Chain A
Amino acid sequence: MAPITTLHYLIAAAALFVLGVIGVLTRRNVVIVLMSIELILNAVNLNLVAFSRLWGLHGQVFAIFVITDAAAEAAVGLGILIAFFRNKETVNVDEVDLLKW
């Protein structure tokens, strides 16, 4: 059994990132889009933590900031979503085109 190297982490993080991007680009429900954004952020976190094994603890501190930011962002995102749902009675992202042109 070969040891788990940084490369493995990077591959896993890249896979997670790609899943997150696909989720953002293809799903219509905003809740799932938000969840996919969390996946992307966590893929970044995984990279930060993996690199902190090589260059010190700065990466882990960054990851904690990102988690905090993700929480705040999720709160704001869900708040906008609820306000929007009250107006339009929908949470489908392709029906949100109030600001076009």
Chain B
Amino acid sequence: MFFLSHIWLIPLLPAFGAAMMFFFGRKLQKSAVSAVCVGAVVVAFIFACGTVWQYTGYAEQNHEQPYQTVVYTWLGADTGQMNYVTQDGKTAPFQVDAGFLLDPLSSIWLLFVTGVGMLIHIYSVGYMGHEGGYYRFFGYLNLFMFSMLTLILANNYALLFVGWEGVGLCSYLLIGFYFHRKSASDAANKAFIVNRIGDAGFILGMFGIAWYFGSLRFTDVNHLARSGHFAVDDPIITAATLCLFIGACGKSAQIPLYVWLPDAMEGPTPVSALIHAATMVTAGVYMVARSNALFVLAPTSMKTVAIVGALTAIFAASIGLVQNDIKRVLAYSTVSQLGYMFLALGVGAFAAGVFHVFTHAFFKALLFLGSGSVIHALSGEQDMRKMGGLADKIPTTFRTMLIGTLAIAGIPPLAGFFSKDEILWRSWLANPLLWAIGFATALMTAFYMFRLVYLTFWSPSRVDHEVEHHIHESPKSMTVPLMVLAFFSITAGWLGWPASLGGSNHFEKFLEPVFARGAEASAAETAPPASEGNRGVDLGLMVLSVLAAGVGWGMANRAYRRAEKSYVEPIAAAAPPVYDLLYNKYYVDEGYDYVFTGRRKVGDVRLGVMGLGEASSWFDSQVIDGTVNGAGWITRLSGTLSSWWDKWIIDGLLVNGPAILSRIMSYPTRMLQWGLVQWYALTMVVGLVGFVAYYAWR
């Protein structure tokens, strides 16, 4: 049980790498950076394999219970302040642990995150070899691995949220890796801000759960949710799950928060592959699947998830039909495939959704890394209009990408076929309309993926002349991960070989302990009894979806096989307005500019919510504060007037007036007393002489 009891080492290994890069990265050689960072992830992968292997043994002995270990209590330990009353009337302390949980669900994520992560680290050694900021890049990547592993190994919502924010931060840092480019730093900001909206929802949902269940531990919450204390359609659970789903929409790029993901392609290509295709964006799926016991109690939320997922799938796929940037096509494809996953979760087919996450991680990472290899070969060119005819020049990249394309298009027996078919079948059982949307999306997926392959590899070359001389196959460190991923893109689906094709679907069986009760609860609506009729439907749908893939391929073949420099998009030829609409991404970003971001102005007035805010701010500062200031101004004016009255009329006229008057009137009198003593004496003498004379001569 060595690996299992040291499960906390798995996230700490890349954390160590990240810390090394943070403290010493600047001084280290590139080879040392690669050794530390790639080494940390390789060891983490080996560790993860050992852990999952030991867990299977543990689960057999312990009735399929999840393995749980608490490293320390992080919040609420021994304080006695945070008690809650459980549903059965007992008092228990509320606490949050730094604890790890391993069950089949996290096992799957653990394996493909470390596995795909390892391959992408190796690939990055070649891809980033000539770039500046090498240690910074690998430090961020390792920090991302740490956060992602924390996210999937957490045993409660709070610790999951720590990882959730960590991957958001790393996503921000890596999208803005070329921060000197304005578009990159804008894209990083956009991703971060849009994710904040989702995170606000996540936090609200988490608070709702903590308040309602008194615990954030997955095991406690699931146990209570399945205990039968709560009715289906419980309003608080519905609200909490809807809030959680808002969080998932942000992280996993669903309508209406998907806008950041296409812009996130400003980051280096390995980042797009690792974070924005294979691992981080599936965190929302993981979180919803992890909360399946709650979602099952909230059919409204389930319907919301399914509808949002289906709409996102077809919406993003239709945009992907006409984009010209090779990475953007793949980005919209990712959004669309994530929509599939949520569609599966929403119709109660949790295992199918997780299965699609699993297969998608391989073929989408493969496609992104392949596109990175193409861009690398073309000295940084990303526009597919300037590619073409590369099949012979970079054969390894071409072959592996073709495998990835076949896998995502759903050609049997590659991985994508099995997972996508499972989802389509289950959505057919839930609601044929959902299936129709999914089916149309499958057709579009095949079309835009083969369009990518034709424009890049098969059509006549449209490459610029200076670039053409430098075309070269990528180094081994890049092609080997491509080949490994191609191998898994073929074989990963075989784990879930469906019953209708004579398989036993090991994947779903493995996940059964996690979703077992969930499936029962929703059995009335969706869960299919494995009857002959259903099997027939499944087979029929399979044939249809393979046909759709073939039709998509055929259409792409017709339109782009001979695409010369001046080729015309078939959609643009058939219906220019539709092409404009799709090419401009349904003007969603522009719409958001009008409604939310406040970039649109009429004159000086902002529009939308920000405009409303500015108007409120104006109203506050001008009208409310103006009234306040007006009242103050009037008070001050009356004070000034009153003080003037006091000073000039009362004091001046009535008090000082008599004083001034008597002063003026006293002037002649004062002249007599002018201070010369001898004058007084003379007056006396004259008076005396006068008197004497008067009496003498009378």
Do A94 and B676 have beta carbons less than 8 Å apart? yes
A25-57 contact mask (Cβ, 8 Å, vs B): 1 or 0: 110000001000000000000000000000000
Q: Would you call B674 an interface residue if the criterion is a C-beta within 8 Å of the partner chain's C-beta atoms?
A: yes
Q: Would you call B661 an interface residue if the criterion is a C-beta within 8 Å of the partner chain's C-beta atoms?
A: no
Q: How far is the CB of B243 from chain A (nearest CB, A)?
A: 92
**Can you name the residue of chain B whose Cβ is closest to the Cβ of A99?**
B675
Q: How far is the CB of A98 from chain B (nearest CB, A)?
A: 8
Do A97 and B681 have beta carbons less than 8 Å apart? no
Q: Would you call A93 an interface residue if the criterion is a C-beta within 8 Å of the partner chain's C-beta atoms?
A: yes
Q: Would you call A21 an interface residue if the criterion is a C-beta within 8 Å of the partner chain's C-beta atoms?
A: yes
Contact partners of A94 in chain B: CB under 8 A? 676-678
Q: Would you call B649 an interface residue if the criterion is a C-beta within 8 Å of the partner chain's C-beta atoms?
A: no
Q: Would you call A16 an interface residue if the criterion is a C-beta within 8 Å of the partner chain's C-beta atoms?
A: no
A21-B685, A25-B685 in contact; A100/B674 too (CB < 8 A)? yes
Q: Would you call B673 an interface residue if the criterion is a C-beta within 8 Å of the partner chain's C-beta atoms?
A: yes
A21-B685, A25-B682, A25-B685 in contact; A93/B677 too (CB < 8 A)? yes
Contact partners of B681 in chain A: CB under 8 A? 24-25
* Bound CA span A93–B685, Å: 18
B652-689 contact mask (Cβ, 8 Å, vs A): 1 or 0: 00000000000000000010011111100110010000
Do B675 and A93 have beta carbons less than 8 Å apart? no
Contact partners of B670 in chain A: CB under 8 A? 101
* Bound CA span A100–B679, Å: 12
- B residues 574-608 touching A (CB-CB < 8 Å): none
- A residues 76-101 touching B (CB-CB < 8 Å): 93-94, 96-97, 99-101
A48-79 contact mask (Cβ, 8 Å, vs B): 1 or 0: 00000000000000000000000000000000
Do B678 and A93 have beta carbons less than 8 Å apart? yes
* Bound CA span A17–B527, Å: 149
* Bound CA span A91–B681, Å: 17
**Can you name the residue of chain A whose Cβ is closest to the Cβ of B689?**
A21
Residue from A26, A99, A100, A101 in contact with B678 in the complex, judged by beta carbons closer than 8 Å: A26
What are 13 pairs between A and B in contact, CB < 8 Å? A24-B681, A25-B678, A25-B681, A25-B685, A93-B678, A94-B676, A96-B675, A97-B675, A97-B676, A100-B673, A100-B674, A100-B675, A101-B670
Q: How far is the CB of B693 from chain A (nearest CB, A)?
A: 14
Give the interface of B toward A (CB within 8 A).
Answer: 670, 673-678, 681-682, 685
* Bound CA span A94–B680, Å: 12
Q: How far is the CB of B322 from chain A (nearest CB, A)?
A: 106
**Can you name the residue of chain B whose Cβ is closest to the Cβ of A30?**
B677
* Bound CA span A99–B677, Å: 10
Q: Which 5 A-B pairs have the closest CB atoms?
A: A97-B675, A100-B675, A25-B682, A93-B677, A101-B670
Contact partners of A96 in chain B: CB under 8 A? 675, 677
**Can you name the residue of chain B whose Cβ is closest to the Cβ of A93?**
B677
* Bound CA span A93–B675, Å: 10
* Bound CA span A96–B676, Å: 7
Contact partners of B675 in chain A: CB under 8 A? 96-97, 99-101
* Bound CA span A60–B676, Å: 36
Q: How far is the CB of A73 from chain B (nearest CB, A)?
A: 15
The DSSP consensus for interface residues of chain B is helix
Give the interface of A toward B (CB within 8 A).
Answer: 21, 24-26, 33, 93-94, 96-97, 99-101
Contact partners of A101 in chain B: CB under 8 A? 670, 673, 675
* Bound CA span A79–B326, Å: 118
**Can you name the residue of chain A whose Cβ is closest to the Cβ of B676?**
A94
Contact partners of A24 in chain B: CB under 8 A? 678, 681
Contact partners of A25 in chain B: CB under 8 A? 678, 681-682, 685
* Bound CA span A73–B677, Å: 17
Contact partners of B677 in chain A: CB under 8 A? 93-94, 96
Contact partners of B678 in chain A: CB under 8 A? 24-26, 33, 93-94
Q: How far is the CB of B252 from chain A (nearest CB, A)?
A: 99
* Bound CA span A33–B673, Å: 20
**Can you name the residue of chain B whose Cβ is closest to the Cβ of A98?**
B675
* Bound CA span A82–B495, Å: 129
Contact partners of B685 in chain A: CB under 8 A? 21, 25
Contact partners of A93 in chain B: CB under 8 A? 676-678
Q: How far is the CB of B195 from chain A (nearest CB, A)?
A: 90
Q: How far is the CB of B627 from chain A (nearest CB, A)?
A: 58
Give me 14 other A-B pairs in contact (C-beta within 8 A), A25-B678, A26-B678, A101-B670 excluded: A21-B685, A24-B681, A33-B678, A93-B676, A93-B677, A94-B676, A94-B677, A96-B675, A97-B674, A97-B676, A100-B673, A100-B674, A100-B675, A101-B675
Contact partners of A100 in chain B: CB under 8 A? 673-675
Contact partners of A33 in chain B: CB under 8 A? 678
* Bound CA span A62–B444, Å: 149
* Bound CA span A101–B678, Å: 16
Q: Which of B673, B674, B677, B682 has the most CB of A within 10 A?
A: B677
* Bound CA span A74–B681, Å: 18
Q: How far is the CB of A91 from chain B (nearest CB, A)?
A: 12
Contact partners of A21 in chain B: CB under 8 A? 685
Contact partners of B682 in chain A: CB under 8 A? 25
* Bound CA span A85–B487, Å: 123
* Bound CA span A53–B673, Å: 44
* Bound CA span A38–B670, Å: 31
* Bound CA span A99–B670, Å: 12
Q: How far is the CB of B670 from chain A (nearest CB, A)?
A: 5
* Bound CA span A93–B673, Å: 15
Q: How far is the CB of B345 from chain A (nearest CB, A)?
A: 106
* Bound CA span A99–B680, Å: 13
* Bound CA span A97–B674, Å: 8
Q: Which of A25, A33, A99 has the most CB of B within 10 A?
A: A25
**Can you name the residue of chain B whose Cβ is closest to the Cβ of A97?**
B675
* Bound CA span A33–B678, Å: 9
Q: How far is the CB of B113 from chain A (nearest CB, A)?
A: 103
* Bound CA span A56–B567, Å: 162
**Can you name the residue of chain A whose Cβ is closest to the Cβ of B670?**
A101
* Bound CA span A100–B677, Å: 10
Contact partners of B673 in chain A: CB under 8 A? 100-101
Contact partners of A26 in chain B: CB under 8 A? 678
Q: Which of B673, B674, B678, B685 has the most CB of A within 10 A?
A: B678
* Bound CA span A88–B685, Å: 28
Q: How far is the CB of B48 from chain A (nearest CB, A)?
A: 106
* Bound CA span A24–B685, Å: 10
* Bound CA span A97–B676, Å: 6
* Bound CA span A24–B678, Å: 7
* Bound CA span A24–B682, Å: 9
**Can you name the residue of chain A whose Cβ is closest to the Cβ of B671?**
A101
Q: How far is the CB of B479 from chain A (nearest CB, A)?
A: 113
Q: How far is the CB of B596 from chain A (nearest CB, A)?
A: 84
Contact partners of B676 in chain A: CB under 8 A? 93-94, 97
* Bound CA span A77–B670, Å: 27
* Bound CA span A53–B373, Å: 155
Q: How far is the CB of A35 from chain B (nearest CB, A)?
A: 15
**Can you name the residue of chain A whose Cβ is closest to the Cβ of B685?**
A21
Q: How far is the CB of A34 from chain B (nearest CB, A)?
A: 12
* Bound CA span A101–B671, Å: 9
Q: How far is the CB of A92 from chain B (nearest CB, A)?
A: 11
* Bound CA span A93–B677, Å: 7
Q: How far is the CB of A5 from chain B (nearest CB, A)?
A: 21
* Bound CA span A19–B685, Å: 13
